[in-house]
Structure 1
């Protein structure tokens, strides 16, 4: 198509879709709906990802960071020409700062999505294809993909619109240990900000769980490390996959996990599962920080069964 005609064609194509109300949908039926691990961060979600990724039925790529942004972009532009819409969605992933951890070239995927029949086009199908493509590119064989990005805790309303049948696993950890871990790892500047972040994440997750109880499961970090086999068996049952005993200790698959070896704050994930980090943050607090945390998140800690 000549360069002078292409822009006009795109405008006409978009106007035609607007006039006839043919906006590409967010959701679509999938052969297997995904699952999302949500939580505050520093709650053990990377350890849980390591365990689940050891199951041959599951694939969980590195953190994506942009699912909420992609959803909003798609909604604003879903009457755009399909080729351009695919480019917009995938480029948003590719140009985010951490995409190098995915370690893949998406050109073949782009052409595959361009050729989809009209009736199969949706944001859910693009995202499903992206996550499956990553698993295939890293040599994985799986039936179910998931996502472990704590930022998605603030995008739950968007995720459920894109994937109405998705399942959600809320990983809950003692807010004092979480806040102390954020600060000690240099991921947040002060205990108060970290504690408030934990509280907001927990309250958002629990509110969402009340809305979609059949699609949500809460797992406590303390249970995961103290009784990993029992906890993983329950989680695998929730996800409708078989439990594999090697999920607890296996490290043979970590080279496919992209970001696991890239950051020092993930280093403990490669250690054997143990309870040594339970209460570690609490034991390091100053009296000032104890009073600060008690004042701002004490009620939430108590409500969740964590000591003051």
Structure 2
């Protein structure tokens, strides 16, 4: 286990993240992958969120409740089976070690399979569902780098509607809240090894931004022509999904005046903070 943890902690993956889906993570994935210097995989919430969260909570349980569990178990084993037994636990440390091992083995498997495919480095593109995803991953993989891309929430939600990620007003509100809260928190925390990128800057001046992306990721040779192609969904195949078509691109949906008002009411202050007109 110590050798495994040390092995994983020296790896240098690139994680491409955003406050929600539809902020440009796939475009960045395509750009990085075009270099053929590393392979950036698609979303894996088990690896990016569930496993780090399991490690974090297991450490908390071990740290905060071991004495309580030891006392409850001692009472049960040596005195009486009667009483309040919600805190009747075996020792929590082995479970904590299993959580660490599950994460480290998963990371090592990413590395080993990437090498099998001909790549020494790898990454994952995965929008965040909470800013703590970055914090937890940084603890487990301290050499990792993160590109956090954000986009005008009006355009984000137009795109999300076109893919049926948003089908009602409640989902629209939640999307806007998540965009506001995650973006604000990531910028506030100021994590090391995290590059916060505005999508509109990439679109307006791709060459200098791509130069910066290459330097940050430690790669070269990104194919700039990727910027000329729009791909925001699966092309139609055997599997039919909402928003698929033969070109792999779905035009963003229009928003009603009421929908725009809801978005601006929720995100307006943060939009202005990041240079968006409302």
Q: TM-score under structure 2 normalisation?
A: 0.68
Distance 2:216 2:156 in 1: 26
Cα distance change, pair 250–225 in 1 and its aligned pair in 2 (3 A): closer
For the 8 Å contact 1:46–1:269, the answer to whether it is kept is no
Rg larger in 1 or in 2?
Answer: 2
Distance 2:96 2:269 in 1: 51
Secondary structure, aligned partner of 2:149:
strand
1:43 aligns with 2:23: yes
Partner of 1:239: 217
Partner of 2:125: 148
Instruction: Measure how far apart 1:33 and its partner are.
Output: 2.1
Secondary structure, aligned partner of 2:16:
strand
Cα distance change, pair 292–124 in 1 and its aligned pair in 2 (3 A): closer
Instruction: Measure how far apart 1:55 and its partner are.
Output: 1.6
Instruction: Measure how far apart 1:189 and its partner are.
Output: 2.1
Of 109, 134, 152, the match for 1:174: 152
For the 8 Å contact 1:172–1:221, the answer to whether it is kept is yes
Instruction: Measure how far apart 1:266 and its partner are.
Output: 7.1
Partner of 1:185: 163
Q: 5+ unaligned residues in a row in structure 1: which ranges?
A: 1-22, 90-120
Q: Displaced runs of 4+ in structure 1, greater than 6 A? A: 23-26, 266-269
Distance 1:157 1:290 in 2: 32
For the 8 Å contact 2:34–2:223, the answer to whether it is kept is no
1:57 aligns with 2:72: no
Q: Give deviations 1:277-300, integer Å, cap 9, x for gaps.
A: 7xx66xx22222222222222222
For the 8 Å contact 2:32–2:38, the answer to whether it is kept is yes
Distance 2:111 2:247 in 1: 24
Of 46, 51, 67, the match for 1:70: 51
Cα distance change, pair 296–249 in 1 and its aligned pair in 2 (3 A): closer
Distance 2:255 2:226 in 1: 30
Partner of 2:204: 226
Aligned length: 234
For the 8 Å contact 1:37–1:169, the answer to whether it is kept is yes
Partner of 2:94: 79
Q: Give deviations 1:46-82, integer Å, cap 9, x for gaps.
A: 1211111112221112211112222244463762598
Partner of 2:79: none
Cα distance change, pair 152–181 in 1 and its aligned pair in 2 (3 A): same
Q: Give deviations 1:138-182, integer Å, cap 9, x for gaps.
A: x3x323211111146452232122112322111111101111222
- Alpha-carbon RMSD across the aligned residues, in angstroms, is 3.7
Partner of 1:132: 111
Instruction: Measure how far apart 1:35 and its partner are.
Output: 2.2
Cα distance change, pair 202–79 in 1 and its aligned pair in 2 (3 A): same
Cα distance change, pair 269–171 in 1 and its aligned pair in 2 (3 A): farther
Instruction: Measure how far apart 1:303 and its partner are.
Output: 1.6
Q: TM-score under structure 1 normalisation?
A: 0.62
Q: 5+ unaligned residues in a row in structure 2: which ranges?
A: 59-91
Cα distance change, pair 195–174 in 1 and its aligned pair in 2 (3 A): farther
